[in-house]
Structure 1
Amino acid sequence: MAERRGRRGFGLATLAALAAGTTCAVAGTRAAVEVDAEGQAAAMVTAGTAQGDALTMPLVTSLALVALASWGVLLVTRGVVRRSAAALALLASLGLLAAAAAALGDLRGTVEDALTEVGATGGASVTGWYLAAVVGGVVLVLAAGLAVWQVPAWPEMGRRYDSPTGEERAVTGDPESPLDLWRAMDEGHDPTDRTSP
């Protein structure tokens, strides 16, 4: 029963983290705020700030990609490396939330400065993309926190997927046929090496 709960928690946390990380990565490339003013001057500011990355959150995108990469490592590793990947995912997720919070003030300031330059009054309001980044960041933090806490109990990838470790097999004699040579090479052994383990 506990094993089934662990597998279910692993699956849900992984899916939630991947969905939230992807959402944050995309949301960071979209405008986080929009001009909240009226008139032609406001339209000019809107057009001016829409160019390039003036109102986006590139740090949020970068940290979301770090969190996603950490989850990728977490899926295919074991032991200390896996725990380290979970900790990195948590740090990246917390950094993402901090970056989103810091970006809001900067982006609002950018819009307000642009409005002042053209003699318009108004401000900036958050967009749905900003809210998506914040909600996704919270989900990432929760999933990564669960990973740090539960990762020792979560299922691991089987050892059969590991690369050869370089251990040598005992040599029982000369290979009987060319097929034996190919099998030895396929298993990662040098069929010409006659040393014993």
Structure 2
Amino acid sequence: MTSPPPATPSTPPPSPSSAASRRALAAALAAGALGAAAVLVAAGRVWGEGTAALPQGELPVRVTGGEVTGLPSALALVGLAALVAVFAVRRAGRAFVAALLVLCGAGTAAAALSATRGGQGRAALEAEAAGATGLTRGTVEAVSFGAWPHVAALGGVLLLAAGLLALRYGRSWPAMSGRHERAGGSRPGAARRPAPGADRPEDLWKALDRGEDPTAGSGGNRS
């Protein structure tokens, strides 16, 4: 009668805290990448439109987000770099970089919204009208702004959310440098060194030439 095979120990299920940390890590990476991409794409789109009044008629003018203000794009790039740097530092440095990511996200959203609600958008349209007509200053009427500034602001909110997740769960996230560390601090090539007293290859060949078995005992009787 055969005995049943021994039961193999089952892998313990992940703790709720570690599962939440992994979900937060994935959410932060997705939010940060999507947020930065949304800001950079929106910066190249048309934000404002208007009509320049000229003696000979009307001239439509348009400005992109980058022409209105370059602050959202700059902050989004800094925020994206901060998101990557979160995994390159530890402890206090990680908290500092996460706080920088939060500030970049909040600043991006505020800069995108204030560019259309303040006078920056109209000033950019007037500068565009002046450049198109060759005048010192252009007068623009029927000014309107589309949805792209709000897309940029939404991207800033996503960067802000990524920073908040990094502040809350960043302590348990892995670091890039951990992949390059070796257990026990051993140096490369240390395991390949022969142990003291081990037979060298030339000694084994000499034993074979003498008709001895180098694997028996301590390598056979040597003269």
Q: TM-score, normalised by structure 1?
A: 0.67
**1:9 equivalent among 24, 46, 50:** 24
Give the share of equivalent positions with the same residue, in percent.
27
- Is 1:157 paired with 2:171? no
- How many angstroms apart in 1 are the aligned matches of 2:186 and 2:24? 39
Query: What is the identity, as a one-letter code, of the residue corresponding to 1:69?
Result: A
| Bigger radius of gyration among the two | 2
Asked if the contact 2:34/2:158 (under 8 Å) is kept, the reply is: no
The structural deviation recorded for 1:4 is 0.5
Q: Distance in 2 between matches of 1:158 and 1:72?
A: 10
Instruction: State yes or no: 1:62 paired with 2:74.
Output: yes
Q: Which amino acid aligns with 1:4?
A: A
String of CA shifts for 1:155-191, please: whole Å, max 9, x gaps: 2137542368xx786xx9xx65xxxxxxxxxxxxxxx
Q: CA RMSD in A?
A: 3.5
Q: Within 5 Å, which residues of 2 pair with 1:37-186?
A: 40-43=57-60, 45-46=61-62, 49=63, 53-55=66-68, 57-104=69-116, 105=118, 106-111=120-125, 114=129, 121-123=141-143, 125-152=144-171, 154-157=172-175, 160-162=178-180
Deviation at 1:53, TM superposition (A): 5.0
Q: What's the secondary structure of 1:41's corresponding residue?
A: strand
State the shift of 1:37 in Å: 8.1
Q: Note the residue ranges of structure 2 that are not aligned, 5 or more in a row.
A: 1-15, 131-136, 195-223
Give the 3 Å change call, closer, same or farther, for CA 8–36 of structure 1 in structure 2: farther
- Residues 33 and 76 of structure 1: is their aligned pair in 2 closer, same or farther, counting only changes over 3 Å? same
Contact 1:63-1:93 within 8 A present in 2 as well: yes
